Every structure is written in C-alpha cells, then in structure tokens.
C-alpha cells in the first residue's frame, strides 16, 4: 500500500477498499502517513463522501487501533448518551445520575469544549477537587458503586480518532459527516456500552445547521451502532437558542444542580427527561419514571455520590467570575430570537471556552440569560449578564452580540421551536 494511491482513489470519487482503509488508519496511527497526507485524504472525504460500507470499515479500523472496554461484570444494563455539541448543553450533568437512579449504569466518556461549544469535563472541573482522568479500574469502580461515571476517555481508546480529530480541527474538515460519524461511534463502540442514545443538535449553535444534514448524520451513526450490536437511537434536538439560561462552566453546573433539585429551566428538564426515557427504554428498563426520580431526590443522591467518588465536593461553593456586565433590552416587546451561536461565541471570548485544546478556561466565565424567545421584555431590563475574570474581554464579547436577538411588537404571538424535532431509530 501507498498513501498516494489511497488519496487519489477518494480524490477521484472512488470507493476505498477495506484493505486501503485498514492500512491507512494503522499507518497514520503509527506515524508512517504524515499529517499533510491524511489532511488531503480527509478533505477528499469531505468533498466526495463515503458509502455505508466505507464508513463502517473506517470506524472498525479506528476501534481496532486501541483497546475495547467491557462492562459484563456489572449487575445493571449499560446505557450511554452522546451529544454532537451546542451552547448551554449541560444535559449530561443531570442526565447521567438520573438514568442511574432509574436502574441503568451510565459509563459517560465526555470531552472538552473547543470554540463556541462547551465541554462537559470543563464544566465538572469547576467543582473543587473533581477529577476527569480515571484509570479503567477507577472508572469501573465508580460505575459499580454509584451507577454513573463521567470522565475522560483513556489514551488507549481509539487512539487513531484522537489523532485524526486534532487534524480535522485545523484543516477545515470537521464538518465531514463520514468523519463525524466514525469519530463519535468508534469511541462509543470501543467504550463497550450496551445501548446508546444520540442527541444530534440542529441550528445556528450546532455543527449541523439544517435538519437534513442532521438526519443524514443521525442515520449514519444509528446504522454504525446497530451494525456493531449496540442498540442505538437518535433524537434531533433544537439548538437555535441556547439550552437553559446559562452558557459557561460553573454557571451550567449551578443550573444542573437546580434541575436535580426539582427546579431549573423547563427546556433543560424536558430534554433531560426525554433522553432519560430513551436511554432506559434502550437498556430494557420499562418500569422507571425519570420525572419521578427528579422530583423525589433520588437523582440528586446519585449526583452527590458520583461527584464525591471522583474527588469532588458536592457541597463546595462554585467559582464566580470577578466581573459582570449587563446587556439590556433595547426596546419593549416579545423576544422572538436569541441566537445560540452568538451567545456561544460571547461565552468563549469571555474565557469559558478555548481556541486550542491546550488553552485554559475560566471556571466562572460565561453568559447568563434573563429571557428566552417567547418572553415579553421591557426596554432597559437586563437581557444578558456577561461574566469574566478579565474585564478587558467584555468589548470583544459584545462584538459577537451585535445582531443576536429580535424583539417584535408587544402582543406578537410567537411559538418557540419544539425541543425534540425528530427521532431516528
């Protein structure tokens, strides 16, 4: 095999053979194929696509590049969830303990934020003492004793994907649906979960801007999971407006705890419960009621045990940014649009996100929302509060909010998008 022939095959819209795929993934992982060569292949895949057989083989080759986990020793069925990323998407935090409180084991391998989308690990690391890095033995112990674990994927899990993901991020090939699908599913299949629910975000704040692209991605991933023996279902969910009332690490943890305490924003509660029901159904648990587990405090109990098991203090005060800046409504009327992407960019610029994986984040930075589309606002009332430790960032963040909302005349009838747009199984 030689990499030039593999690149030319896909450049010329050909189908890569199983042998070509196996070789190029292995050779790239070992360093035989250079970054510039793999970036050329990734761009050819972005432009010309892959069929289902190619995507399945590509995914299998990335799984084969590392280890596979096994949870057969657990007494509970396993169920996991993956979100394609959005703004204010804190759902994993209340969801994992909620599903565990209903009888499933939730091995949640999560990532960090990059750009305008937040990362689950960054959010949880705002809790004093909490550890994202666990050995496989530690992960299994936390899962066995609490029912849920949220941690970083180990270096041995699909190392080919880790290397390729970093390359895609700097070569303009993140949006390639075959590469998104294989990236997500190689890690989830190698993780060893018995069932998987995918939350595929659609809208300005998501990687998939329109619903047809989101459906294609969802169908591709559901097919990959099903072909690998993992019961997989996908929900397409709205990301035109931020989820909840916060975008930022400690801000989102605080809001997640409110949900676990039986309160919190209605959209966060709705999506958390909808995903929990899908996860429990996929795991074969039919008699549990996730709404009841939120109301009776049992999900909160699991949260506290899970955080403590990973070194965190569930009672500790969360970080608060040193500086705030209030953005007020320019007119009176009905808020009909609040752009998720713009809010995400503002939170990122305030210090809640990173431009490169090695960049630090501010735990207290972010954006707090005081109204959502459909609400009536009055001129001069707080619309957003910006939080940061570095006030010189305010002007930069405000530039992203120049055209981020629409306010219609008083009395305007407005119906927000539903949270769940479609289901793919």
Write out the E strands in 158-239: 195-202, 231-238
Distance between CA atoms of residues 336 and 317, nearest Å: 35
Catalytic residue, chosen from 65, 83, 183, 404, is: 183
Beta bridge partners of 405: 338
User: Which residues, in sequence order, are CB contacts of 420 under 8 Å at separation 6+?
Assistant: 235, 236, 237, 238, 271, 274
Catalytic residue, chosen from 82, 123, 305, 349, is: 82
User: Which residues, in sequence order, are CB contacts of 343 under 8 Å at separation 6+?
Assistant: 87, 88, 205, 242, 247, 367, 369, 384, 401, 404
168 catalytic, yes or no? yes
187 catalytic, yes or no? yes
Catalytic residue, chosen from 116, 163, 187, 188, is: 187
Of 257, 375, 388, 275, nearest in space to 322 by CA: 388
Q: How far is CA 101 from CA 104, 198, 254, 300, in A?
A: 7, 20, 20, 9
Catalytic residue, chosen from 89, 161, 267, 342, is: 161
DSSP letter assigned to residue 337: E
Q: Nearest 5°: phi and psi at 188?
A: -70, -40
301 catalytic, yes or no? no
393 catalytic, yes or no? no
User: Which residues, in sequence order, are CB contacts of 151 under 8 Å at separation 6+?
Assistant: 108, 109, 110, 121, 131, 132, 133, 134, 139, 142, 310
161 catalytic, yes or no? yes
Beta bridge partners of 81: 197
Residue 90 near residue 124 (C-beta atoms within 8 A): no
Catalytic residue, chosen from 81, 116, 163, 168, is: 168
CA torsion, ordered 160, 166, 169, 171, to nearest 10 deg: -80
The catalytic residue positions are 82, 161, 168, 183, 187
């Amino acid at each position: 095999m030689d990499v030039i022939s593999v690149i030319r095959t896909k450049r010329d819209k050909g189908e890569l053979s199983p042998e070509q795929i196996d070789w190029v993934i292995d050779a790239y992982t070992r360093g035989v194929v250079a970054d510039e060569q793999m970036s050329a292949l990734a761009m050819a895949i972005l432009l010309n696509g892959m069929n289902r057989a190619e995507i399945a083989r590509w995914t299998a080759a990335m799984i084969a590049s590392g280890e596979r986990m096994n949870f057969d020793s657990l007494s509970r069925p396993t169920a996991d969830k993956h979100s394609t990323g959005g703004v204010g998407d804190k759902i994993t935090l209340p969801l994992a303990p909620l599903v565990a409180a209903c009888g499933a084991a939730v091995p949640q391998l999560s990532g960090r934020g990059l750009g305008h989308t937040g990362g689950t690990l960054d959010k949880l690391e705002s809790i004093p003492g909490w550890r994202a890095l666990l050995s496989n033995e530690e992960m299994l112990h936390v899962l066995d004793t609490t029912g849920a674990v949220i941690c970083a994927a180990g270096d041995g899990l699909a190392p080919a994907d880790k290397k390729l993901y970093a390359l895609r991020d700097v070569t303009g090939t993140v949006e390639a649906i075959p590469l998104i699908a294989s990236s997500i599913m190689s890690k989830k299949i190698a993780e060893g979960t018995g069932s998987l629910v995918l939350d595929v975000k659609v809208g300005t704040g998501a990687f998939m801007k329109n619903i047809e692209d989101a459906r294609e991605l969802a169908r591709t991933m559901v097919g990959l999971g099903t072909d690998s023996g993992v019961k997989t279902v996908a929900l397409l969910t709205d990301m035109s407006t931020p989820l909840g009332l916060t975008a930022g690490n400690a801000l989102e943890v605080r809001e997640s705890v409110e949900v676990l305490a039986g309160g919190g924003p209605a959209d966060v509660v709705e999506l958390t419960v909808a995903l929990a029901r899908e996860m429990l159904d996929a795991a074969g648990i039919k008699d549990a009621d996730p709404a009841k587990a939120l109301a009776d405090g049992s999900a909160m109990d699991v949260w506290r045990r899970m955080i403590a098991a990973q070194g965190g203090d569930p009672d500790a005060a969360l970080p608060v940014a040193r500086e705030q800046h209030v953005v007020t409504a320019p007119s009176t009327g009905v808020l009909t649009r609040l752009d998720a992407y713009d809010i995400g960019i503002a939170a990122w610029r305030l210090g809640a996100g990173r431009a490169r994986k090695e960049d630090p984040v501010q735990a207290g930075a972010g954006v707090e929302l005081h109204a959502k589309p459909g609400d009536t606002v009055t001129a001069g009332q707080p619309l957003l509060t910006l939080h940061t430790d570095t006030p010189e960032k305010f002007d930069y963040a405000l530039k992203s909010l120049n055209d981020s909302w629409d306010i219609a005349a008083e009395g305007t009838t407005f119906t927000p998008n539903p949270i769940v747009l479609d289901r793919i199984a």
